[in-house]
């Protein structure tokens, strides 16, 4: 039988790293499964200006690399891979990775975060990373002098458009309705920027270009009542147009990375976020011993510092839960 660990943490963003630091300092010798975006979403950003303790800001990658070093200093071990399945039926959790590696653990902390949502249109797979991006702060500087399109109507879309306006010749925001979801302050900043234009009631149906040339354009559809793709699917006439572009950015929100939990008793909400149970352990799910932290369970705050806080809570909950289980086992042994 393989070794049974005390704590395994899935995810190495701020939530996972905070859980790792606390669990390691509690001598629980945590194993951290890196995930497919080691370091999480902060590695896709430039400066983090609102993380407490860094008056001049701190690079996102630097912050998570330091967190990893800190966790390793106390004995956390990092393992490359992606959790593919977890069996919650036995006395301990059986975790299987995409590499085929398996682990067993008494407590399992899920901090797998959320990934950028995509449209799933033709051209997307080939062009992702070749002029199509979900991260303006990572790729914006490649688009000096380009005409770029940002898809989305929330705060992220405004933020990306504003950032891109420093490099691109023109930035167009395509939103599927004619009312933004973004906060007034962010929307106003975008409205006041001369480089940024809006295409209302518009959606992208295809992205053109090649891996060699990058993005060269997109086909967009529009309808004055909004949601043109739905209308088109219902047989309603929409305006279709092909536009020339040098870059395209998705800013249409994130989806929590919880697919591997879909066939388990862990309760997910309709968007896939993990729901914690109403118990004495704030971060525990309906499955005893399985805890959740960060963007994978938090559709509201979604900040680095709150993710770190949730990671700490999950680690402490796991530690207390393990102690309680051990105490129960001892009591049962004495009774027998």
Taking CB under 6 A as the binding criterion, the range among 22-30, 41-49, 99-107, 250-258 that sits at the site for ligand NAP is: 250-258
Provide, rounded to whole angstroms, the least separation between the CB of residue 113 and ligand NAP.
13
C-beta of 77 vs 197, nearer to ligand NAP: 197
Closest CA relative to residue 203, chosen from 155, 253, 150: 150
Its sign, for the CA torsion 58, 45, 170, 196, is negative
The span from the CA of 43 to the CA of 304, in Å, is 11
Position 60 contacts ligand NAP (CB under 6 A) = no
C-beta of 70 vs 118, nearer to ligand NAP: 118
Q: Is 135 assigned a catalytic role?
A: yes
Which region, left, alpha or beta, applies to residue 275 given φ > 0 means left and ψ of -120 to 50 means alpha? Answer: beta
Taking CB under 6 A as the binding criterion, the range among 5-13, 76-84, 210-218, 246-254 that sits at the site for ligand NAP is: 246-254
C-beta of 146 vs 159, nearer to ligand NAP: 159
The span from the CA of 190 to the CA of 61, in Å, is 27
The span from the CA of 72 to the CA of 70, in Å, is 5
Name the catalytic one among 139, 146, 295, 298: 139
Element (H, E) at 209: strand 202-210
* Contact criterion met (CB below 8 Å) for 132 and 124: yes
Give the burial class of 330: count Cβ atoms within 10 A of its Cβ; 0-12 exposed, 13-18 middle, 19 or more buried. Answer: exposed
C-beta of 306 vs 325, nearer to ligand NAP: 306
CA distance to 15, 17, 21, 277, per residue, from 29 (Å): 17, 13, 10, 26
Position 253 contacts ligand NAP (CB under 6 A) = yes
Beta-sheet pairing, 102-110 with 290-292: parallel
Q: Is 139 assigned a catalytic role?
A: yes
Residue in 25, 79, 96, 181 binding ligand NAP, rule: CB under 6 A: 181
C-beta of 59 vs 253, nearer to ligand NAP: 253
Position 132 contacts ligand NAP (CB under 6 A) = no
Position 32 contacts ligand NAP (CB under 6 A) = no
Residue in 153, 209, 214, 217 binding ligand NAP, rule: CB under 6 A: 153
Could you list the residues that contact ligand NAP (CB under 6 A)? 117, 119, 151-157, 159, 176-177, 181, 186, 203, 251-253, 302
């Amino acid at each position: 039988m393989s070794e049974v660990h005390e704590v395994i943490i899935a995810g190495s963003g701020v939530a996972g790293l905070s859980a790792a630091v606390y669990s390691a300092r509690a001598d629980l010798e945590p194993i951290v499964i890196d995930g497919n975006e080691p370091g999480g979403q902060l590695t896709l950003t430039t400066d983090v200006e609102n993380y407490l303790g860094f008056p001049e800001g701190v690079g996102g990658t630097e912050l998570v690399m330091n967190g990893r070093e800190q966790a390793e200093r106390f004995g956390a071990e990092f393992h490359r891979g992606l959790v593919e399945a977890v069996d919650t039926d036995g006395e301990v959790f059986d975790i299987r990775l995409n590499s085929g590696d398996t682990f067993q653990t008494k407590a399992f902390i899920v901090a797998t975060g959320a990934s950028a949502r995509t449209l799933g249109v033709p051209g997307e797979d080939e062009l992702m990373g070749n002029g199509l991006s979900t991260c303006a702060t990572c790729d914006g500087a490649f688009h000096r002098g380009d005409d770029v399109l940002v898809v989305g109507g929330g705060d992220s879309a405004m933020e990306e458009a504003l950032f891109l306006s420093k490099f691109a010749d023109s930035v167009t925001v395509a939103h599927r309705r004619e009312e933004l979801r973004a906060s007034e302050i962010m929307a106003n900043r975008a409205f006041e920027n001369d480089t940024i234009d809006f295409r209302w009631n518009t959606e992208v149906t295809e992205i053109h270009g090649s891996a060699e040339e990058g993005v060269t354009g997109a086909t967009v559809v529009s309808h004055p009542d909004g949601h043109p793709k739905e209308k088109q699917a219902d047989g309603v006439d929409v305006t279709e147009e092909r536009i020339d572009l040098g870059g395209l950015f998705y800013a249409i929100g994130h989806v929590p990375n919880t697919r591997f939990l879909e066939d388990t008793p862990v309760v997910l909400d309709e968007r896939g976020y993990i729901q914690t149970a109403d118990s004495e352990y704030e971060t525990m799910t309906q499955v005893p011993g399985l805890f959740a932290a960060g963007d994978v369970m938090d559709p509201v705050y979604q900040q680095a510092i709150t993710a770190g806080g949730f990671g700490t809570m999950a680690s402490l909950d796991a530690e207390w839960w393990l102690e309680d289980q051990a105490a129960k086992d001892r009591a049962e042994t004495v009774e027998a």
